[in-house]
A = this chain, B = another copy of it.
Amino acid sequence: MSSSLQPEVPAPLANLKIQYTKIFINNEWHDSVSGKKFPVLNPATEEVICHVEEGDKADIDKAVKAARQAFQIGSPWRTMDASERGRLLYKLADLMERDRLLLTTMESMNAGRLFTQAYMMDFEMMLKTLKYCAGWADKIHGQTIPSDGDIFTYTRREPIGVCGQILPWNGPLIMFIWKIGPALCCGNTVIVKPAEQTPLTALHMASLIKEAGFPPGVVNIVPGYGPTAGAAISSHMDIDKVSFTGSTEVGKLIKEAAGKSNLKRVTLELGGKSPCIVFADADLDSAIEFAHQGVFCHQGQVCVAASRLFVEESIYDEFVKRSVERAKKYVLGNPLNSEINQGPQIDKEQHDKVLELIESGKKEGAKLELGGGRWGNKGFFVQPTVFSNVTDEMRIAKEEIFGPVQQIMKFKSLDDVIKRANNTTYGLAAGVFTKDLDKAITVSSALQAGMVWVNCYLILPSQCPFGGFKMSGNGRELGEHGVYEYTELKTVAMKISQKNS
């Protein structure tokens, strides 16, 4: 990924003060209706960073009222030029740039993301994504349609209305942008519930949203827990769409609740068990590096983690050997420190789940090549772990691990490996490594995955619509297609005296 400007990475902000810890509604800061607060932790040290107001159904109700009001016909937001919505998003991007150090220090501290990566690559991606969405605002086109009869027909892509957006903890700030960017550029109003583990950067963004000049009620942020605030969103009778990124298990509950309540529109970005297929003719070093990054990025806590690696028999042993060497290059520790290149898992629950799956790998007979357990005494760290001789029935080959654990499996026949790669309820991403033209095209066609990478992995620019086949999700985010999912189509047919082509 090329970048035009390579800033020097400063030190993280020392003595970061957390200024915003309340619920944000109508551009104002509110205490929770219940008076409750909840602690926010640093996963590298297990220390409490601060406490944040805990939103629940009553706070969601307040936020929905504000968002609904801001969405009324005749409101500032509804009567604003589309290009002005885009200008506000550009302004927001500028304010983010101004507060880059603060935001990335906060993200690293709260979400366990590596500071240097957060400051550079991640942040650059976020700004680009926000600007990409801003650019779409006045290009949301409907059509005129040559329908039968003396009729003038056109469609409008209107904003859907009040959108509830439930964010995950693995990329709090990037996911915030991914969700509000398209929603706002299309003219919706939003209620954001950041993950309970990671509410801080969303709340700082609220202050920037107010500063940028978004009208009150357009963006509302209610920190809280899934079963309370999150459930209140998915069951709400006056929310028009819910967008959720997280586990498939919770995604199902959300779609069920949407059906039970008011048939709100649903976009889901869920789990995965994404396969990489490495053919013998692939560029071996490149394949190893991409496959490695694909599963170890952010300690394996990415929905597209390349957690099933199918390597053609003739290059298998070499591939394993080099993958193991590559996985030895980690220095674990506090992600704020510049020499560290592997941070912690987000919390105890995730940490224990990863360790449990590692144990299952050992028990079920996979060969442990590296790592295999926890690291250190404090913080939720897991040693980079590599298993070889993994077979399809093992739990580590079937269940989403969400940890720094790589599974390397062998294959011989092309038709067979495609079947094995598709033999899962998931369908988020896949990687194909080959120099052969025909293989590249036909195998990527055959794989049941919404995002297929060829001779690379994890390259996710905002121009690409992203989302899952099967139980990895419903709908797409970003790209033209994903932006349009934040619109509701209206067809208008006007009788005229005579139509002409």
Contact = CB atoms under 8 A, between A and B. Distances in A.
A227 B253 CA distance: 22
Do most interface residues of chain A lie in helix, strand or loop, or is the interface mixed? mixed
Interface string A143-173: 1011111110101101000000000000000
A296 to B, nearest CB: 19
How many copies of this chain?
Answer: 2
A464 B147 CA distance: 7
A350 to B, nearest CB: 23
A461 B263 contact: no
Contacts of A58: none
B489 A156 contact: no
A493 interface: yes
Given A2-B149, A73-B418, A459-B151, A479 B491 contact: yes
Contacts of A148: 1-2, 128, 461-463
Interface string A181-209: 00000000000000000000000000000
Interface stretch (A42-50, A322-330, A360-368, A450-458): A450-458
A21 to B, nearest CB: 34
Contact of A263 (B255, B449, B453, B488): B255
B491 A153 contact: no
15 contacts: A145-B479, A147-B464, A151-B459, A153-B464, A156-B445, A258-B259, A263-B268, A450-B491, A452-B491, A455-B495, A456-B493, A456-B494, A464-B491, A476-B489, A481-B489
Given A2-B150, A147-B463, 14 more contacts: A1-B148, A1-B149, A2-B149, A149-B459, A151-B459, A255-B255, A258-B259, A263-B471, A263-B473, A452-B492, A453-B494, A459-B493, A469-B488, A469-B490
Interface of A: 1-2, 73, 128, 143, 145-151, 153, 155-156, 158, 240, 248, 251-260, 262-263, 265, 268, 270, 418, 425, 440, 444-446, 449-456, 459, 461-467, 469-471, 473-474, 476, 479-481, 488-495
